Amino acid sequence: MEEPIKLYSYQDRYGKRLQRLTVDGGFTCPNRDGSVSAGGCTFCDNAAFHPAYTQGKSITEQLRAGVSFHENRSRRADAYLAYFQPFSNTYADVPTLRRRYEEALAFPGVCGLVIGTRPDCIDREKLRLLSDIKAQGHIVELEFGIESVYDTTLRRVKRGHDFACTRRAFEMSAEAGLEAGGHIILGLPGETREMMVKAADVLNTLPVSFLKFHQLQIIKGTQMETEFSEKPGDFLRPGPMEYISLLADIIERLRPDIAIGRIASSVPPRFTDSPWGLLRHDELLKMLARCLKERQSYP
């Protein structure tokens, strides 16, 4: 019997146990520095999404601290991937990108890069750099912040680009021979349950290898917190069981080759008043597996 969820697995893909080490590469974002906007996306506070061990250190020092952090939590790994996560990690000129990526790749045990970035921060010159790194035998993965497939939503959250930009980023990455995944936020203002489910049909048209789903968490101090206080009726905020049902509907519509990298997000409690409490990701995963099994949503 096949598993009801195709999970994104480094063990299956690369034949070894890999651990991501989050790295703050010192980048910023065109939606913050004035190139596109100065306020950032309405939902965003990067401090909520990366560990304390990345703060105030060089890339090499961060990787050393990351290895120690995971070893102390008894997480075994055959090798590591430097995960450039905070802000937009292709938002610099190519020489700067090369220096920062090469510093990470020089760290003992690091066998590749995972680059989190915005679709409007990639171009063919940067993709050539990443293709060259891959040609040297390193793993290279791109993670684009899709967030929504609807331009009305992207405008409302002040994303600063449209979905056509997202499509171009994925198509250029595929042409460059690079694997690319994307992040989707479920529950952005103005989106109905039907819209979120139908988004799967649009995602199926992208050359995407994996998707990470995140329930909207309203981070304290963000523009979205203010918007939510003023227009709570514009937000669909499902509880865990409702969210699992929504995810199941989406996954049933996705192409079978698209792997699921994550089904929910978590941030430190001080950043949000999440109505879910401390429900763990692995508990949600079991709930989703049971739901899909009960629906007989797989062969």
pLDDT for 52 equals: 74
pTM attached to this predicted model: 0.92
pLDDT for 35 equals: 87
The CATH number of domain 10-295 is 3.20.20.70: yes
pLDDT for 49 equals: 59
pLDDT for 103 equals: 98
pLDDT for 250 equals: 97
pLDDT for 137 equals: 97
pLDDT for 54 equals: 80
The domains of the chain are located at: 10-295
Tell me the C-alpha distance between 50 and 202, whole Å: 29
Per-residue pLDDT of the chain (299 residues; tens, 9 = 90+): 355 677 888 988 888 899 999 999 999 999 888 888 778 898 887 665 566 778 789 999 999 999 998 887 767 889 999 999 999 999 999 999 999 999 999 999 999 999 999 999 999 999 999 999 999 999 999 999 999 999 999 999 999 999 999 999 999 999 999 999 999 999 999 999 999 999 999 999 999 999 999 999 888 889 999 999 999 999 999 989 999 999 999 999 999 999 999 999 877 666 666 667 666 788 889 999 999 989 887 65
pLDDT for 1 equals: 35
Q: What is the pLDDT of residues 198-219, one digit of tens each?
A: 999 999 999 999 999 999 988 8
Q: What is the pLDDT of residues 173-184, one digit of tens each?
A: 999 999 999 999
- Cβ atoms within 10 Å of 105's Cβ, excluding its own: 15
